[in-house]
Structure 1
Amino acid sequence: MSISAFKVFRCSPSFWRRHLSTSAAQRSREYDGTIRNLRIDKNTKVIYQGFTGKAATANARDTIAYGTNIVGGVSPGKGGCTHLDLPVFHTVDEAMRFATPHVSAVFVPAQFAAKAIIESIEAEVPLVVSVAEHIPVHDMLRVHEILRTQSKTRLVGPNCPGIIAPEQCRVGIMPYKQYKKGNIGIVSKSGTLSYEAVGSTTSVGLGQSIVLGMGGDLLPGTTLADGLKLFFEDEETKGIIVIGEIGGTAELKAADLIREYRKSTHHPKPIVAMVAGRTAPHGRIMGHAGAVLTSRDVPAEIKAKALGDAGAIIVPHPGIMGETMKKLLES
Structure 2
Amino acid sequence: MIYRKTHRVLVQGITGKQGTFWSEKMMACGTRIVAGVNPKRAGQTHIGVPVFASAQQAMEREPFDIAVMFIPPAMAKDAARDAIEAGARMIVILTEHIPAFDVMAIHEAANEHGARIVGPNTAGLVTPGEGFVGIMPGHNTNIFQPGDVGVISRSGSLGTLVCLNLTRAGIGQSAFLGIGGDPMIGTTTRDALEALDRDPRTRAIVMVGEIGGSMEEQAAAYAATMQRPVVAFIAGRSSPPGKKMGHAGAIVTGNAGSYASKRAALEAAGVTVVDTPSEIPTVLRRRMAAEVAAAE
1:93 corresponding residue in structure 2:
56
- Equivalenced residue count is 287
Task: Judge conservation of contact 1:185–1:210 (CA < 8 Å) in 2.
Answer: yes
Q: Show CA shifts across 1:262-312 (max 9, x none).
A: 3xxxxx111101211111123332222111223373311111110110111
Please name the residue that 1:149 is paired with.
112
Q: Equivalent residue for 1:12?
A: none
Q: Does 2:265 correspond to 1:306?
A: yes
- What amino acid does structure 1 have at the position aligned with 2:254? S
Q: Does 1:166 align with 2:119?
A: no
Match of 2:232 in 1: 273
Q: CA deviation at 1:181?
A: 1.0
Q: Aligned to 1:134, what secondary structure does the other structure show?
A: coil
Match for 2:201: what amino acid? E
Q: Classify the secondary structure of the residue corresponding to 2:239.
A: coil
Structure 2: gaps spanning 5 or more residues? 291-296
Q: Which amino acid aligns with 1:148?
A: N
Instruction: Give 3-state SS (helix, strand or coil) of 1:125's partner.
Output: coil
Matched, 1:255 2:214: no
Q: Give per-residue Cα distances to partners, 1:154-176, cap 9 Å, x unaligned.
A: 11111111111112121111123
Contact 1:201-1:323 within 8 A present in 2 as well: no
1:243 aligns with 2:243: no
Name segments (4+ residues, structure 1) moved above 3 Å.
none
Contact kept in structure 2, 1:275 and 1:301, CA below 8 Å: no
Matches within 5 A, 1:1-331: 38-151=1-114, 153-176=115-138, 177=140, 178-259=143-224, 261-262=225-226, 268-295=227-254, 297-331=256-290
CA distance in 2, matches of 1:126, 1:185: 22
Match of 2:294 in 1: none
Partner Cα distance (1:302, 1:295) in 2: 10
How many angstroms apart in 2 are the aligned matches of 1:245 and 1:229? 19
SS at match of 1:77: helix
Summarize the Cα distance change of 1:295–1:138 in structure 2 as closer, same or farther, 3 Å threshold. Answer: farther
2:129–2:145 CA contact under 8 A, matched in 1: yes
Aligned-pair CA distance for 1:82: 0.6
Counterpart residue identity of residue 126, structure 2: I
Partner deviation per Cα, 1:209-250 (whole Å, 9 max, x = no partner):
110111110001111000011011100000011111111111
Contact kept, 8 Å, 1:202 with 1:322, in 2: the verdict is no
Amino acid at match of 2:230: I
* 8 A contact 1:204–1:326 mirrored in 2: no
SS in 2 for 1:319: helix
Q: Say which SS state the counterpart of residue 184 (structure 1) adopts.
A: strand
Query: Mean Cα displacement is larger for which, 212-221 or 93-102?
Result: 93-102
Q: Which has the higher helix share?
A: 1
- Superposition deviation, residue 255 in structure 1: 0.8
- Give me the whole-angstrom Cα distance separating, in 2, the residues matched to 1:233 and 1:122: 28
Q: % of aligned pairs identical? A: 37
1:115 Cα offset (Å): 1.5
Aligned-residue Cα RMSD (Å) equals: 1.4
Whole-angstrom CA distance in 1 between matches of 2:65 and 2:111: 19
* C-alpha distance after superposition, 1:35-55 (max 9, x if no partner): xxx132222221100111122
CA distance in 2, matches of 1:108, 1:40: 21
TM-score normalized by structure 2?
Answer: 0.93
Shift of 1:137: 1.2
Q: Distance in 1 between matches of 2:235 and 2:179?
A: 15
Give the drift of 1:125: 0.5
Give TM-score, length-normalised by structure 1: 0.83
Tell me, yes or no, if the aligned pair for 1:76 and 1:91 is still in contact at 8 Å.
yes
